[in-house]
Amino acid sequence: MPIVTRRSLFVLGGLAIGGVAVAGFVWSGAYNVGADDPHIAPVYALMETIRDQSIRSRADDLKVPDLEGRERMMQGAGNYNAMCAGCHLKPGVSETELSKGLYPAPPDLTRTEVDEAEAFWVIKHGIKASGMPAWGKSMEDEYIWNMVAFIRQLPTLDPQAYQELVASSGGHSHGGGESAGHSDAEGEEAPHEHAMGEDAEHEDGHLPAAGVPVPEGGTTHVHADGMSHVHTPSVPQAASTAVPADDGHDDHDHQD
């Protein structure tokens, strides 16, 4: 048998054995896909490289519009606060319940400079199996660019400047797909309240949930991201004071 043929058979045999081994490993469920167990270094490096190259190659074809102007940034601030701050944070917030639990960890956009075209592509199309949704399914391109205009300025904002922009933004409005109670595409703002604490402060410095009254004895639980909810005190069950129904008999002993 020619040497070339023997080598070919050896290579094919090795590939077959390797394929069976990989299939057995996958089928066994041995690899932990839990978000609280990091990928092994080679797997993470491969996934990170694939992700970055995929985004870069697609964003290269985008034409970035003029993103200057406070109006763009203001409008983007409301959508960022409603849709992104829970994962990507806001000035003065180091982590949230969501950002703590996601893996890979979402970038802290209060400390990260972004490429405008890449940011637009990621917001619009999302990233598979990362927790980053494709907002383009419900958000028009113009509103996405407004959010990009805000995000690129986000690292320069302190908590007060951030809240001022959010307060002047008109809230969550992006041209379609908003939940009930959000602003519509024409800008007509419908009542909508996030428990972000824009009312008077509590004695402990935290802010109550907007529009949520705190019952007597209740407490307001404020999370690290500023979101809050009210704990209602438990009410002890009152002792029974029920009066026996009148059965028509006199209250005395009967005689047989």
Average pLDDT over residues 185-193: 37
In this structure, the chain runs to a length of 256
Of the listed ranges 69-78, 219-228, 238-247, the one predicted with least confidence? 238-247
The whole-number pLDDT of residue 183 equals: 38
| SS3 assignment, position 55 | helix
The whole-number pLDDT of residue 6 equals: 74
Residue 134 falls in which region: left (phi positive, over 0), alpha (psi -120 to 50) or beta = beta
22 vs 191, residue with greater confidence:
22
Whole-number percent of the chain with pLDDT over 70: 67
77 has a pLDDT exceeding 90: yes
The whole-number pLDDT of residue 10 equals: 76
212 has a pLDDT exceeding 50: no
The whole-number pLDDT of residue 26 equals: 86
The pLDDT tens digits for 134-159 are 999 999 999 999 999 999 999 999 99
Distances (CA, A) of 43 to 48, 69, 101, 166: 9, 42, 20, 39
| SS3 assignment, position 115 | coil
Separation between Cα atoms, residue 230 and residue 214, nearest integer Å: 7
Retrieve residue 105's tokens.
Answer: 């960890």
The whole-number pLDDT of residue 191 equals: 36
Q: What radius of gyration, in Å, describes the C-alpha atoms of the chain?
A: 29
Instruction: Return the amino acid letter for 207.
Output: L
The pLDDT tens digits for 17-29 are 888 888 887 899 9
162 contacts 179 by C-beta, under 8 angstroms: no
Separation between Cα atoms, residue 48 and residue 89, nearest integer Å: 22
Residue with tokens 């797909």: 177
Distances (CA, A) of 29 to 16, 22, 23, 47, 141: 21, 11, 10, 19, 41
- Under the banding of pLDDT at 50, 70 and 90, the label for residue 132 is very high
Separation between Cα atoms, residue 79 and residue 132, nearest integer Å: 15
The whole-number pLDDT of residue 228 equals: 53
The whole-number pLDDT of residue 101 equals: 94
| SS3 assignment, position 231 | strand
CATH 1.10.760.10 domain locations along the chain: 45-167
Give the CATH number of domain 45-167. Answer: 1.10.760.10
30 vs 222, residue with greater confidence:
30
51 contacts 107 by C-beta, under 8 angstroms: no
Average pLDDT over residues 181-191: 37
220 vs 153, residue with greater confidence:
153
